[in-house]
Structure 1
Amino acid sequence: MKNLLSIGVQCWEWFAQHLYHLFSLFACIQLAALMLVTCIDVVGRYLFSSPLVGSVELTEILLGSLIFTSLPLVTWRKEHISVDLMEGMLPKQIRSLRDILFNLAISISLFAIGTKVWSLATRSHRYEEISEYLEIPVYYLTYFLAITCWLTSVTCLVLIGTHLLNKNYPTQGTSQ
């Protein structure tokens, strides 16, 4: 069982390394675009009395996609906000079991959320829904959100495997 788990983790390592860099780059581009849209809107609004048309819509789209792009990255790096009031009082085996159960619960939850979001994206595609001002098809973003939920779900499962194999990677924070 441990060999099969090790092979699965190694396959994911190769894929995750490239995906990690791709999502990091994409998040940087989204953040830069968000800053650019905000700057153009503010300069246009206050210097020329002409704000950027659709800036609120672009900000909503960029912010939503940035959050979901970052979700697998934050999960992989183990950088979620956590409160460790009783961390020192729990034995290592209990903490280990807790981490495995939390990752499993998160994985199942995000898989269910991703499935629901995918069905919403399919419905949006079928009805050809578009954004209000810029008329951007909504389903592109919605499909992307579902995919990032599923990637984060798989990442949580891989974290369980890496925890069981006692592995840690340079792009990850330290395990608590």
Structure 2
Amino acid sequence: MAFSAWLTAHYEEKGPVRWLAFALELVAAVTLFLLMFLTCADVVGRYFFGNSVDGTTELTEIGIAILVFAEMPVITWRGGHVVVDILDKMWGSVALKVLGLLSAFLMSSAMYFLGVRIFELAERSLRRDEITELLEIPVGYIVQYIAVMSWATAALMITYGIYHQIIQNRD
């Protein structure tokens, strides 16, 4: 089976979003594997050799940030967030579409401005040469990654709202 056929069979997304979802999930999967390997090496080192891996806590924190923010745009595009639909039966389909678009706009705006603020904090962190305590990894680059993924989530949230509320759900 060709890779593109496999990708088409396993990913419902269309066009470039399919490739973006695959790339981000690949980053998350590799990060998760490395976290698993790091944890196993740390435990084996601690119990069998009396010495744990230096910086495991820092690497785990960075790995979790990479993992979470790599998956956030994908989950957003797939509509995987928690949704409360208590009033959906009482409202008409037009009102639900308007509310869906409004909520997509508000969430994407919030993620965009959150990304702007996070990027400002990353720039400040790089200017001050902030590093992690043990491994001395520059913190600013990780924070910049979080800002960029927040912007990607904002972009996919607004396109999700437009695509799913207007194009896909035409009556």
Shorter chain as denominator, the TM-score bin is 0.7 to 0.9
Gaps of 5+ in 1: 1-12, 169-176
Which of the pair has the greater relative contact order for Cα pairs under 8 Å at 6+ separation?
A: 1
Q: Structure 2 length as normaliser, TM-score?
A: 0.84
Larger mean CA deviation between 154-163 and 69-78 belongs to 154-163
Give the CA deviation at 1:18. Answer: 2.3
One-letter amino acid matched to 1:27: A
Q: Which 5+ residue runs of structure 2 have no aligned equivalent?
A: 1-13
Cα-to-partner distance string for 1:103-134 (whole Å, 9 max, x where unaligned): 10111000001000111111111111111111
Give the TM-score taking structure 1 as reference length.
0.82
Identity %: 34
Aligned pairs for 1:1-176 (under 5 A) are: 14-167=15-168
Paired letter, 2:114: I
Between stretches 116-125 and 155-164, larger displacement belongs to: 155-164
Separation (CA, whole Å) in 1 of partners of 2:107 and 2:60: 28
1:92 maps to amino acid: S
Alpha-carbon deviation of 1:49? 2.2
Provide the rounded CA distance (Å) in 2 between the counterparts of 1:59 and 1:139: 17
Does structure 1 retain, via aligned residues, the 8 Å contact 2:97–2:166? Answer: no
Which stretches of structure 1, 4 residues or longer, exceed 4 Å deviation after superposition?
A: none
Superposition deviation, residue 17 in structure 1: 2.7
CA distance in 1, matches of 2:36, 2:19: 26
Alpha-carbon distance between aligned partners in 2 of 1:122 and 1:89, rounded to the nearest angstrom:
48
3-state SS of 2:167 partner: coil
Q: Per-residue deviation at 1:88? A: 2.9
**How far is the alpha carbon of 1:65 from its aligned partner?**
1.5
CA RMSD of aligned residues (A): 1.7
Quote how far apart the aligned CAs of 1:164 are. 4.7
- Tell me if structure 1 keeps the 8 A contact 2:125–2:140: yes
User: Which residue of the partner structure matches residue 173 of structure 1?
Assistant: none
Deviations, residues 81-110 of structure 1 (Å, cap 9, x unaligned): 223333333322222122111110111000
